[in-house]
Amino acid sequence: MSFILSIFLTLFSITAPYSTNYAQILVNACYLFTAPSFESEKVLDLSNEKIILKQNDSVLVLEESGDFALVQIDNTIRGYVYKYYLSYGENIDVYPTFNATIRHDDTRVFNLDYSQSNIVLDSGTRVFIYGGYDDRNEYTAIQFVDGNGTLIHGFVQTSNINPDGVSSLLIVGISIIVACVTIILSIIFIKKSRSNKKSKPSK
């Protein structure tokens, strides 16, 4: 009897640590990254498609690296995921810190593959920009919390978002200045082209 008990305890001691390392995905969808950074390449599957994890998917957590965790899926594929997207079974809601506001009503949210979702956001909705903001980009990656308390991860058109610290008047003002500078440079270029043509000696 003691021999059987010792075998049972040995097996339990081997398997128990791994069982506590499994976690579920909190966010609606997220990528696997090749390094612990949002700027790194995405992990691809055998068809060279970007792997997207969905809410409630189970992953094996191997280690943490800063704000990311190295996880394994399907016993073979490894990659990094933002560790705040993971739930270890505790009843804890993990939401992002908001740093931007939606500017227009009926702002469409796009999925990670840039296809349209059925989600639209109202003007004034608070969101989190996690991958940086550049008004030259057509889309900006955001996170937000829907009415059911679910953390949603997707894209919106950059023109529909107003980062904290950047007023809409400033954005409009910068756009007007850029447009004026473009017009002025165009006029100067045209005048120079005409003057160059006039200065050429006739044959």
- 56-82 pLDDT, tens digit per residue, is 899 999 999 988 999 999 888 999 998
CATH architecture type of domain 2-87 = Roll (2.30)
CB 68 within 8 A of CB 117: no
Mean pLDDT calculated for residue range 121-133: 88
Q: Rounded CA gap, 70 and 190, in Å?
A: 57
- Which pLDDT band, with edges at 50, 70 and 90, does 187 fall under? low
Tell me the per-residue pLDDT of 92-104, one tens digit each, with 9 for 90 and over. Answer: 455 557 889 999 9
Model pLDDT, residue 193 = 55
pLDDT reported for residue 188: 56
Fold equal for 2-87 and 100-163: yes
Please report, for the chain, the start and end positions of each structural domain, with discontinuous segments joined by +.
2-87, 100-163
pTM of the model: 0.52
Average pLDDT over residues 189-197: 55
- Nearest alpha-carbon partner for 125 in 93, 147, 95, 94: 147
From its phi and psi, is residue 124 left (phi > 0), alpha (psi between -120 and 50) or beta? left
63-72, 153-162, 184-193, range with the lowest pLDDT: 184-193
CATH class of 100-163: mainly beta
Predicted pLDDT at 170? 47
pLDDT at 181 > cutoff 80: no
pLDDT at 76: 87
- List pLDDT tens digits, range 31-55: 899 999 888 999 999 889 999 998 8
Per DSSP, 202 falls in state: P
Backbone angles phi, psi at 30, to 5 degrees: -160, 155
